[in-house]
C-alpha cells in the first residue's frame, strides 16, 4: 500500500533535489524565479523617480475618486432606506428617522 505524500515529505524531497542540483540548475531556477517576480521592471521603476511619483499620484487620485463615488452611493442608499422606514411608520424608529431626514434636508448644500 502506497503512502500519500504529505506536505513534509514533499518538502524533504524538494530539499534533496536542491542539494543534488548543480549550481547551473540553481542559477537557472533563480533567474526564472526573478523573471516571474518582475524584479527587473520594479528596479527600472525605482531608477525613474519622476515616473514613480506620477504613477503614485495617479493611483492615489483614482483611489480617492473611487472612495468618493462609493461613499456617495452608500449614503444615497442609506437615505433611501431611511425614507422607506419613515413610510412604514414604525413606532420608535419612525420619529427618529423622520427627524433625521428632516435634518439632512435642511442642511443640504444649496447646489444639491
pLDDT tens digits in sequence order for the chain, 112 residues long:
455 557 677 676 676 666 677 888 888 888 888 788 787 788 888 899 899 899 999 999 999 999 999 999 999 998 888 778 777 767 777 777 778 888 888 887 666 5
Which helix (H) or strand (E) element contains residue 48? none
Whole-angstrom Cα distance, residue 109 to residue 112?
A: 6
Q: What is the pLDDT of residue 53?
A: 92
**Three cell numbers at 37?**
517576480
Amino acid at each position: 500500500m502506497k503512502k500519500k505524500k504529505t506536505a513534509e515529505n514533499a518538502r524533504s524531497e524538494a530539499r534533496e533535489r536542491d542539494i543534488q542540483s548543480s549550481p547551473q540548475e540553481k542559477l537557472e531556477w533563480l533567474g526564472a524565479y526573478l523573471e516571474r517576480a518582475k524584479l527587473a521592471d520594479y528596479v527600472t521603476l525605482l531608477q525613474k523617480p519622476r515616473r514613480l511619483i506620477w504613477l503614485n499620484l495617479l493611483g492615489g487620485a483614482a483611489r480617492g475618486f473611487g472612495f468618493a463615488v462609493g461613499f456617495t452611493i452608500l449614503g444615497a442608499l442609506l437615505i433611501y432606506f431611511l425614507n422607506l422606514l419613515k413610510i412604514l411608520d414604525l413606532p420608535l424608529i419612525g420619529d427618529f428617522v423622520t427627524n433625521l431626514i428632516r435634518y439632512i434636508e435642511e442642511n443640504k448644500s444649496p447646489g444639491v
